[in-house]
Structure 1
Amino acid sequence: MTINPPVKSVTRIAGTIQGYKATRQAASFVFTDRDTTSLGVVAIAAGVAGLGGQAVSAASHATSVEEDADFVEFALDGISVKGWVWRSPFGEGDQVEVVGELQGQAMNAIAIARPSDRTVALYPHCSRGRTRHIKNAIKWWLYLTMFFVCVPLGFLLLAGSTQRLADAWSEGGDLVALGVAAFFGLMNFSLARRWMPFVTLAEKAFAAFGWDKPGDIDLARATKASRRTGDPGELGTFYFRY
């Protein structure tokens, strides 16, 4: 099944988890059936563009448009909560804050946070605000361009072929460099735009939690910087520390 991320107004509620249930299911959060043949290429591109968890998930399903995620269901002080997170580290009796669309006594959750240990799980592919997302795309565009331009030139220098290097550059090397830059620029732009709905959704969750500067938040980066011995391997990829 294909799941579209909720993008309407969100609110925050808090309470104690009761009747907790988490089911690992497969669903399509990003890709459509038309993407099946190219998903492997997108997974590689996502990896080199620094989209970590997205690449891991996509690569593990290179012949399918579906990804595994946790569908959680529980009650929170009389409100029925349901929603998708990439991986749920929560359990019965946890004191949590939940952000989502509230309709009467039911909430479609997009993010769950446990203040006691500052753990948060979000709707799949949501981890960065807009500013960080754009900066990350630009960073990897520069890295990839520099790598694929400088490595061949470096081989010529190591071989002591300064004249060949000069000849190659004068015979169109500058145009090749521009072509490489344009290629990776378009690739990164396409990927960055593809994930923008999730960036918007992440910012809504960050703002609802009351976190400062939602656009400048990068949960993956912040979690990596705060990792401790014994932390689960999935922390920082599929759920985070804030």
Structure 2
Amino acid sequence: MPTTLTLTTPIAAARTSPAERPGVRLAVYAGPAEPPRIDHLEDDDAVALIEVVCDAVYEHSPLPAPAVREIVENLVHAGFADAVVSVLDGGHTVRVSDHGPGIDDPSRARTPGFTSARAEARAIVRGVGGGLPLADALLADAGGTLEMTPNLGGGVVVTLRVPPPDTTPAEPVPSGTARMILALLLEVGSADAERLARELHASRSECGRELAALQHRGLVVRESGGARRLTEAGAALVATLF
């Protein structure tokens, strides 16, 4: 169920209506087929709220922290209207949306010096037109992207994304016997398990197992008579092994 994190600051005394309290819904998606965990973060002080939201995102995302902060700070321009921060793809995608005034010209918004920040917003954020360009550059350095699109019903959605790390397992290094088989096939062209065993003074069963493994990896191919020869990938691998 949604939870509410309520913070109090000295500015709270200056507020006359609870409805004025700025808030952000944080939605953390554990998986595409699972509903998100939703936390409602709010504070009477917009500066403190920005800190709380950024800290919460940092716990779930490896995105560059300064880039996240620049985009979260921009919620001030929207008055935190229907502000939602979604964390997806194991934290590799963060989407910040609102129903504020939106951005008339996204291309100029990425250019240093262009800003829509008025005096009230500049009291909270820098408001010099450097936030989006900085976030854009930080994500590009991390191999990621920053996208801005209109939100449904008005406002803007900013999506920050970095690619997940490559988790492809490394190819296992061939065993000593497999290396010798590859080298011998490079020399003789093709051979069956019996000949390989004889040349290498190894057992026929061992050579057979190694040939099967090499064939599975696409390093050797079986000819019609049962002999094996190197594939292009196998020949290229031999050049790196010796």
Q: Calculate the TM-score normalised by the size of structure 1.
A: 0.26
**Which has more helix, going by share of residues?**
1
Q: Calculate the TM-score normalised by the size of structure 2.
A: 0.26
**Which has more strand, going by share of residues?**
1
